[in-house]
Amino acid sequence: MTVRLDLTGLTTRAAQVWGGVRLVPLTRDEPITGLRLHARAYGDDPGLVEVGRRTHYVSYIPHGFVATWTDDDTPVAAYGTQLKAHGTLAKGGDEPPVHGMRLRFHRRMARRVERNRLRFLPLHLAVEGYLALHFGGPQVVWEERSQRAIRRGLSPRVEEAYAGVEVAGLADALKHFEIHPGQCGVLVYVADALASAFVVPHPDDYRALHATLVQDMYGELVHYYATFGMPVPRFDVRLPDDVASLADLRAVAAREQAEWARFHDATMADGLLGESYATNRVYRMGDYTLSRFLPTFRLKQENHVGELITDRVGRTAYLKTFRLSEAQIRRGHLLANLAAHDWHLPTSAAALGITEHQLGLRLHGAGFGALIREDVLAHYRAENRR
């Protein structure tokens, strides 16, 4: 199912700039009260999410969220800041395959903790989706696939991401940011590249979660942009001189603000809002649907993966996105193409406009060499040399 992100009900407000980081607040006139979110602090230890046997993948999980929800639209303050001990600290027999850091096991990404509560880990859903899309293994086993890839899938399933504190300037920008009274979301631009979008149902949730943005994951690209980027300009307001009265002046000021919102939505956030996404429904609870979405993997363009909670009519209640780096997009593009052709190398190569051996070597270069049997790979290499 392909969808577009629907940010109906959210208004773009004036951006606030700190160094290379531009934060664009989104406000809601009417907060959603039927769905509330709460942070579950797991501390800063990297977590390991257990998806199934032998399918651990490594990533940095600073925290998970609990979605609290009621059928009628009553406020759910009673659920408030309840923190539940996560009782899933089962250290399995497998050695955690990471750089010697202490790991925590979260049994599933999204699961019922109790009635009316849904716990999930942000971004993980999305990154897992990205990995799981093709890594579950193709249905048809072609002879090129190595025995290893058939037995173990694509392993290890590792994607790199940086915590927000490692993104230069982001922590300061978030600290100095002045939260709007009705703010329900923010778009984070680093060096004017959209790094992440974050939307919650209610302003109180936003206030609680604002500081956690610094613990979220950001792609490699964002990290590099932040490190090497220059301070971004502020886009100061310019008003025309031809006003006759204060009412005129107010009108041109309002027009200027609307103009910014239009420019932002149509130009700056176009890479996120203007594209359609393949969604995968994870969970449905009452009026709300939790899903993760994938981009179409357009090369050399913005591609975001993310997770989304929508209401019955498809409006966004919760949104969190993660911008893929160039290498990730290339890998995703290759895999998406292979999957579209049932993992048949000759037809995929034809679709990409290259020869079979070139595709084989490209797969190898992208880190998927293990997919192809060693002798076939050697054959491709020989072909390439000729």
Partner 1 sequence: MKYRTGLKRALRHAHVAPDGELGPFLFTPDDRRRYDTPLLETWRRAHYEHASVYELPYTVAEGFAAKHRIDRATFLKRIEPRMTRLERLRVQESASRGKAAVAVDLGSMPLTRLASYVLSLPVPERVDRRGELTGALRAAAVRAAGRAAGGWGRVAAVLDDSFSASGSAQKRRRPLAVALACHYLLAELAAEYVPLWTSGRTDALLAHPYGMTPLGERVLDALEHAPDRLLIVSDGWDNAPYGLASEVLRVWRARLDPARRVVAVHLNPVYDAEDFDVKRLAAAVPTVGVRDAEDVPALVEFARFTEGRTGFADLRAHFDDRVARFLEEG
Interface residue list for partner 1 (CB under 8 A): 13-17, 25, 176, 178-181, 234-246, 249-250, 253, 256-257, 260
| Residue 260: CB minimum distance to partner 1, A | 6
| Residue 14: CB minimum distance to partner 1, A | 3
Rounded Cα distance between 161 and 62, Å, is 12
Torsion of CA 126, 127, 129, 131, to 10 degrees: 170
For residue 295, whether the previous peptide bond is cis, meaning omega lies within 30 degrees of 0, is no
Rounded Cα distance between 76 and 85, Å, is 20
Single out the residue of 224, 167, 227, 200 nearest to residue 316, CA to CA.
200
| Residue 30: CB minimum distance to partner 1, A | 18
Which is it for strands 316-323 and 193-199: parallel, antiparallel or unpaired? antiparallel
Q: Three-class SS of residue 59?
A: coil
Which one, 13 or 223, has the nearer CB to partner 1? 13
Rounded Cα distance between 111 and 30, Å, is 29
| Residue 234: CB minimum distance to partner 1, A | 5
Which one, 18 or 69, has the nearer CB to partner 1? 18
| Residue 68: CB minimum distance to partner 1, A | 25
Which one, 207 or 381, has the nearer CB to partner 1? 207
Q: Which helix (H) or strand (E) holds 160?
A: none
| Residue 237: CB minimum distance to partner 1, A | 5
Which one, 5 or 268, has the nearer CB to partner 1? 268
CA triplet 101, 104, 108: central angle to 5 degrees? 140
| Residue 169: CB minimum distance to partner 1, A | 16
Burial 68-86 (b: 16+ CB within 10 A, else e): bbbeeeeebeebeeeeeeb
At residue 202, what is the residue type? Answer: H
Which is it for strands 16-18 and 21-28: parallel, antiparallel or unpaired? antiparallel
Q: Which helix (H) or strand (E) holds 345?
A: helix 345-352
| Residue 262: CB minimum distance to partner 1, A | 13
E strands along 91-182, which residues? 104-106, 110-112, 117-120, 157-158, 162-163
Single out the residue of 33, 75, 52, 64 nearest to residue 307, CA to CA.
64
DSSP character at residue 210? G
Which one, 23 or 334, has the nearer CB to partner 1? 23
Which one, 91 or 255, has the nearer CB to partner 1? 255
Which one, 252 or 351, has the nearer CB to partner 1? 252
Which one, 14 or 339, has the nearer CB to partner 1? 14
